[in-house]
Amino acid sequence: MGEPKPLTAYQQTYHWRNKNCAPFAHDWVKKSLPGLKVEDGESYAEIIEVTNVSGDCDLGQRKGKLLTIYDLEVEAKWSGKAKDGSEVNGTLKVPEVSHEAIDGLSDYVYEWRVTSDSSASSSELLSIIKSKFPSILSAKFNTFRAELLAAYGNPSADDSLPTSGTSTPQPGVSSSSSYSPAPPAKPVESEKKAEETKKDVGKTVTVEQKADLQASAEDLWGLLTDENKVPMWSRSAAKINLTPDFPYELFGGNVRGKIISVEAPKKLVQTWQVRSPSWPSDHYGTMTLSLDQGSSSTSATFTLDGVPAGNEAEVEKALDAFYIRGLKQMGLVLSSSSRSYSTPTSRPPTRTTQKPKKLRKKTSSSSPSKWSSSTLIGSGVVLGLSAVLVGIVYTSFPPSSSRA
């Protein structure tokens, strides 16, 4: 097979820019909430101070399209007057102020407490607050995206997003990225680790997910392996250091393992485990990401070896949800397919080796899955199926008080 042809000029426009807007977000919350007030006859309550804001806020840009990604935690104090004229003080905690609420993928959760002396009148005021304040706060939080874009969304402004350049560092050139490509591990070491994952789980299968993506291999490599870019499609935090034997975490820690080998921007091999009741807690499969750039698109193949037999259907759905649907909602996916087959037990395979199933196009399905739920795991403007992307992890993930 010859060298892949370079992408067209159109395809080469897929570059990424990022800006950390956390300082702006924290300041906006501290200025916007104080003064918000509810009244009911002689009773009233007002936010008097925002005591703490934490979390991240990023503004990304791809091919002129802006992506707002933020997840903040807010704490505040309120003060009011009960029906009997007594002063009542308390606190408010909002565990998650996120882009997902504006996108309709989650709801704001408000935790109210009375810190002054408890009484019947203070309890009555607290009930009024819980009834009337959420709509006021939600309306205020829903204006944040527009104000963020007004402040930083103009590409021609002086504070426009700085270009990130190429998606992967060039040899010999310093980079702000947290990693540098490492030489691939020896094949015998990779094979040894793969064999070790099969010892205690019995028969295993291999699940493969493929997609043709409308971007260069270099840009996709950065998007899939740079922990600062992964949240753009995974909707959750990532921890990645592309150094062999270093651990990584995706989807808020629900997928994890260690790096085995790196061949940027073509191939990444890593151990892989999902936190699921149907996946053994001490078992790791081997995930291989391969990128093959063509003339007008790049073929991405996610191959997971060592899947416990009987889980292949669920894993196929999960890989499609984990890795493909977020990219699809960003407009990158041209087509996708999946298959599963018995993992070969020896090399070379014998004539009796089971033939792989025929590749098939993925279609949407409303059938329930052991790994799907409406629970979201964290951390834009990606809509619709992105809820499934992070919700499919599974229903028994450690719940957050801010999620349904």
Longest dimension (CA), the chain: 87
Q: In this predicted structure, what is the pLDDT of residue 325?
A: 83
Mean pLDDT along residues 301-315: 90
Domains of the chain (ranges; CATH) run 13-152 (3.15.10.20), 187-391 (3.30.530.20)
Q: Is the pTM of this model over 0.85?
A: no
Task: Tell me the pLDDT tens digit for each residue of 336-372.
Answer: 888 888 766 544 443 334 444 444 444 333 333 444 3
- Bridge partners, residue 336, by sequence: 211
Q: In this predicted structure, what is the pLDDT of residue 33?
A: 95
Contact 108, 97 (CB under 8 A): yes
308 cis-preceded (ω within 30 degrees of 0): no
Task: Tell me the pLDDT tens digit for each residue of 257-271.
Answer: 999 999 999 999 999
Sheet containing 285-293: give its strands across.
247-250, 255-263, 267-274, 285-293, 298-308, 204-213, 333-342, 360-361
DSSP string, 75-141: EEEEEEE-TTS-EEEEEEEEEEEEHHHHTTSS----EEEE-S---HHHHHHHHHHHHHHHHHHHHHH
Task: Tell me the pLDDT tens digit for each residue of 17-39.
Answer: 678 889 999 999 999 999 999 99
Mean pLDDT along residues 306-322: 87
- Bridge partners, residue 45, by sequence: 38, 80
